[in-house]
Amino acid sequence: MRPRGGRRSGQVSRRGIKDLFDVAGERTLAGSRALDDAPPAKADAPIVARLKAAGAVLMGRTNMTEFAFSGVGINPHYGTPGNPWDRKRIPGGSSAGAPISVADGMAAVAIGTDTGGSVRIPAAFCGLAGLKPTQFRIPRQGATPLSTTLDSIGPIGASVACCALTDAVLAGEPPTVPEAIPVEALRLGIPQTLVLDDLEPAVAGAFERVTSALARAGARIVELPLKPLGGAPSRARCDPPAVLPELAPALPLDQRLDAERHREQPSILPVAADHGQSDGRLARRRDRNGDRATIEKIDRRGVAQYARIEPPEILILCEGRDRRRHQR
């Protein structure tokens, strides 16, 4: 696939698509057995049509969590793909097969959907770049929905450039890669309240190394207090809804495991405390206004999500871009 006009950004022609997008003449299963008897799609989803028009070759459908209902990646019907760095570990989900198709060189870029992390989680688990755009940037027709208010469609690729190129095609724009912003011109916001609490040492260490490297390269690191996150919530135990024993065998494997785990150890969920004081509400409002003013001055916000211990170099072939492949 070549951009029209502008600089050539490297051909990225081989694509994998998540098994919830319509392809004319094919059955859309969404990772489930429940749709085995569904009629084949009559037309391509808009994003499929745009990929084909740009010259993409669809290599196949990638596996996913059933109906995209999990960030783990387990599928009891069609098998769970193994993480490319350790086949005994999960790849993240729900776009579980997407990052593996890229990491193993079967596709240059894979297309997934993201409701609460289903592109970003597997990308992070597998050492790739993942992008969740704003919801209305890319048309969602022809995609099996999980949440009509939260679903977005985005790419997983070897680099940010691969994701940017694909994102432009999916959005119906000329497929060019934006010029990189110099690191020295970046202001990066790092939330300090709640979101970085209780990190595992390996994750905290990796996050610290990255932020320190960016600072040494000239980026301005801005700490965001985000006091309302820590001032209002208190921790309380909350048990999930009970699962009837007779229904448990019918649940997907990942949901059965979740239910069993919750029975053994109740979840810890934040609940709002009743301050009951007007001065407290005014203080929180001032905190929010101060945070908003700070956020508006920064370019990006960084949060530690998932980190591999001593991550190996990863090579993916984003066609036209040579990268080193770690010998597994």
Active site residues: 18, 94, 118
* Cα 130 to Cα 108: distance, rounded to the nearest angstrom: 13
| Cβ-based burial of 306 (10 A; exposed 0-12, middle 13-18, buried ≥19) | middle
What SS3 string covers the chain?
CCCCCCCCCCCCCEEEEECCECCCCCCCCCCCCCCCCCCCCCCCCHHHHHHHHCCCEEEEEECCCHHHCCCCCCCCCCCCCCECCECCCCCCCCCCHHHHHHHCCCCCEEEEEECCCCCHHHHHHCCCEECCCCCCCCCCCCECCCCCCCCEEEEEECCHHHHHHHHHHHCCCCCCCCCCCCHHHCEEEEECCCCCCCCCHHHHHHHHHHHHHHHHCCCEEEEECCHHHHHCEEEEEECCCCCCCCCHHHCCHHHHHHHHHHHHCCEEEEEECCCCCHHHHHHHHHHHHHHHHHHCCCCEECCCCCCCCCCCCCCCCECCECCCCCCC
Q: State yes or no: cis peptide before 94, omega within 30 of 0.
A: yes
Do the Cβ atoms of 186 and 220 come closer than 8 Å?
yes
- Return d(Cα 103, Cα 65) in angstroms, integer: 19
